[in-house]
Amino acid sequence: MNPRRKKRLTIVTSLIIGLGVVAGLVLYALSQNIDLFYKPSEIYNGKEDTGLKAIDGQRLRIGGLVVPGSVHRNSETLHVSFKLADMRMPISFSESDPTVTVTYDGILPDLFREGQGIVANGILVDGSTIKASEVLAKHDENYMPKELADDMGKKHEKPTY
Protein backbone atom coordinates (compact mmCIF):
# COMPACT_ATOMS: atom_id res chain seq x y z
CA MET A 1 0.00 0.00 0.00
CA ASN A 2 1.16 3.46 -0.91
CA PRO A 3 2.48 5.44 2.10
CA ARG A 4 0.21 8.37 1.18
CA ARG A 5 -2.90 6.13 1.22
CA LYS A 6 -1.79 4.56 4.47
CA LYS A 7 -1.52 8.00 6.10
CA ARG A 8 -4.99 9.02 4.81
CA LEU A 9 -6.51 5.76 6.08
CA THR A 10 -4.97 6.32 9.52
CA ILE A 11 -6.35 9.88 9.70
CA VAL A 12 -9.85 8.87 8.58
CA THR A 13 -9.90 5.92 11.02
CA SER A 14 -8.75 8.17 13.88
CA LEU A 15 -11.46 10.73 13.07
CA ILE A 16 -14.20 8.08 13.01
CA ILE A 17 -13.03 6.59 16.33
CA GLY A 18 -12.80 10.07 17.87
CA LEU A 19 -16.32 11.01 16.73
CA GLY A 20 -17.63 7.72 18.14
CA VAL A 21 -16.02 8.40 21.53
CA VAL A 22 -17.38 11.97 21.62
CA ALA A 23 -20.89 10.77 20.69
CA GLY A 24 -20.76 8.11 23.41
CA LEU A 25 -19.68 10.63 26.06
CA VAL A 26 -22.43 13.07 25.03
CA LEU A 27 -25.10 10.38 25.24
CA TYR A 28 -23.80 9.26 28.64
CA ALA A 29 -23.88 12.83 29.97
CA LEU A 30 -27.42 13.38 28.67
CA SER A 31 -28.68 10.18 30.26
CA GLN A 32 -27.42 11.39 33.64
CA ASN A 33 -29.41 14.63 33.39
CA ILE A 34 -32.79 13.28 32.29
CA ASP A 35 -35.61 13.96 34.75
CA LEU A 36 -38.63 11.79 34.00
CA PHE A 37 -42.01 13.19 35.06
CA TYR A 38 -44.15 11.05 37.35
CA LYS A 39 -47.47 11.39 39.16
CA PRO A 40 -47.69 9.99 42.71
CA SER A 41 -49.76 7.01 41.55
CA GLU A 42 -47.13 6.23 38.88
CA ILE A 43 -44.44 5.91 41.57
CA TYR A 44 -46.37 2.91 42.94
CA ASN A 45 -47.97 1.46 39.81
CA GLY A 46 -45.57 2.47 37.05
CA LYS A 47 -46.27 4.56 33.95
CA GLU A 48 -49.70 3.98 32.43
CA ASP A 49 -48.49 3.41 28.86
CA THR A 50 -45.20 1.55 29.43
CA GLY A 51 -45.41 0.19 32.99
CA LEU A 52 -41.98 1.75 33.69
CA LYS A 53 -41.45 2.16 37.45
CA ALA A 54 -39.07 4.57 39.16
CA ILE A 55 -36.15 2.97 40.98
CA ASP A 56 -34.40 4.13 44.15
CA GLY A 57 -31.70 6.71 43.44
CA GLN A 58 -33.33 7.84 40.18
CA ARG A 59 -33.63 11.55 39.40
CA LEU A 60 -37.20 12.46 38.66
CA ARG A 61 -39.76 15.21 38.52
CA ILE A 62 -43.04 14.66 40.35
CA GLY A 63 -46.21 16.70 40.14
CA GLY A 64 -49.35 16.64 42.24
CA LEU A 65 -51.44 18.41 44.87
CA VAL A 66 -50.19 19.02 48.40
CA VAL A 67 -52.42 16.98 50.73
CA PRO A 68 -54.11 19.25 53.32
CA GLY A 69 -52.74 18.71 56.83
CA SER A 70 -49.58 16.97 55.62
CA VAL A 71 -47.13 19.90 55.69
CA HIS A 72 -44.63 19.57 58.55
CA ARG A 73 -42.02 22.29 59.06
CA ASN A 74 -39.00 22.22 61.34
CA SER A 75 -39.15 25.41 63.39
CA GLU A 76 -35.35 25.68 63.69
CA THR A 77 -34.31 24.88 60.11
CA LEU A 78 -35.71 25.24 56.61
CA HIS A 79 -36.56 21.52 56.47
CA VAL A 80 -40.14 20.80 55.36
CA SER A 81 -41.93 17.60 54.42
CA PHE A 82 -45.33 17.14 52.82
CA LYS A 83 -47.38 14.57 50.97
CA LEU A 84 -48.40 14.74 47.32
CA ALA A 85 -51.45 13.13 45.73
CA ASP A 86 -52.64 12.96 42.12
CA MET A 87 -54.47 15.95 40.68
CA ARG A 88 -58.15 15.17 40.36
CA MET A 89 -61.14 17.30 39.55
CA PRO A 90 -62.96 18.16 41.74
CA ILE A 91 -60.13 18.47 44.23
CA SER A 92 -60.63 15.80 46.86
CA PHE A 93 -58.38 13.50 48.85
CA SER A 94 -59.08 10.13 50.39
CA GLU A 95 -56.92 7.86 52.52
CA SER A 96 -56.88 5.23 49.76
CA ASP A 97 -55.20 7.56 47.25
CA PRO A 98 -51.50 6.79 46.75
CA THR A 99 -49.39 9.58 48.22
CA VAL A 100 -45.68 10.32 48.06
CA THR A 101 -43.74 12.10 50.82
CA VAL A 102 -41.51 14.94 49.63
CA THR A 103 -38.73 16.32 51.86
CA TYR A 104 -37.11 19.63 51.05
CA ASP A 105 -34.44 21.83 52.66
CA GLY A 106 -34.91 25.38 51.50
CA ILE A 107 -37.30 28.26 51.07
CA LEU A 108 -40.62 27.27 49.53
CA PRO A 109 -42.20 29.40 46.78
CA ASP A 110 -44.75 32.06 47.77
CA LEU A 111 -47.58 30.19 46.01
CA PHE A 112 -46.95 27.00 48.01
CA ARG A 113 -49.90 25.99 50.20
CA GLU A 114 -52.01 22.96 51.04
CA GLY A 115 -54.26 21.87 48.19
CA GLN A 116 -52.04 23.67 45.67
CA GLY A 117 -50.43 21.99 42.68
CA ILE A 118 -46.63 21.74 42.79
CA VAL A 119 -43.80 20.19 40.81
CA ALA A 120 -40.70 18.93 42.63
CA ASN A 121 -37.36 17.89 41.15
CA GLY A 122 -35.40 15.39 43.21
CA ILE A 123 -34.20 11.87 43.85
CA LEU A 124 -36.33 8.89 44.85
CA VAL A 125 -34.90 7.84 48.22
CA ASP A 126 -37.13 4.84 48.84
CA GLY A 127 -40.33 3.61 47.25
CA SER A 128 -42.42 6.54 48.51
CA THR A 129 -40.06 9.33 49.61
CA ILE A 130 -38.46 11.95 47.40
CA LYS A 131 -35.64 14.24 48.51
CA ALA A 132 -36.36 17.36 46.50
CA SER A 133 -33.68 19.75 45.28
CA GLU A 134 -36.24 22.20 43.84
CA VAL A 135 -39.94 22.86 44.50
CA LEU A 136 -42.03 24.86 42.02
CA ALA A 137 -45.57 26.00 42.83
CA LYS A 138 -48.11 26.05 40.04
CA HIS A 139 -51.27 28.05 39.69
CA ASP A 140 -54.30 26.77 37.88
CA GLU A 141 -55.93 28.15 34.76
CA ASN A 142 -58.37 30.15 36.92
CA TYR A 143 -55.58 32.36 38.28
CA MET A 144 -56.05 36.06 37.67
CA PRO A 145 -53.98 38.96 39.07
CA LYS A 146 -55.87 41.14 41.57
CA GLU A 147 -55.56 44.24 39.36
CA LEU A 148 -57.15 42.48 36.40
CA ALA A 149 -59.91 41.04 38.58
CA ASP A 150 -60.64 44.55 39.94
CA ASP A 151 -60.84 45.91 36.39
CA MET A 152 -63.33 43.22 35.44
CA GLY A 153 -65.50 44.16 38.41
CA LYS A 154 -68.52 42.04 39.22
CA LYS A 155 -68.13 39.75 36.20
CA HIS A 156 -65.17 38.01 37.83
CA GLU A 157 -65.79 35.04 40.11
CA LYS A 158 -63.07 33.79 42.44
CA PRO A 159 -62.25 30.12 42.02
CA THR A 160 -63.29 27.92 44.95
CA TYR A 161 -60.93 25.31 46.35
pTM exceeds 0.75: no
β-strand pairing of 59-66 with 72-73: unpaired
Do 40 and 101 form a contact (C-beta atoms < 8 A)?
A: no
Sign of CA dihedral 100, 106, 109, 114: positive
pLDDT digits (tens, 9 = 90+) for 22-79: 999 988 887 666 657 888 888 888 777 777 777 888 888 888 888 888 889 988 888 9
- The architecture of the domain spanning 36-137 is Beta Barrel (2.40)
Buried-state track 112-130, b at ≥16 Cβ within 10 A, e below 16? beeebbbbbbbebeeeebb
Model confidence at 86: pLDDT above 60: yes
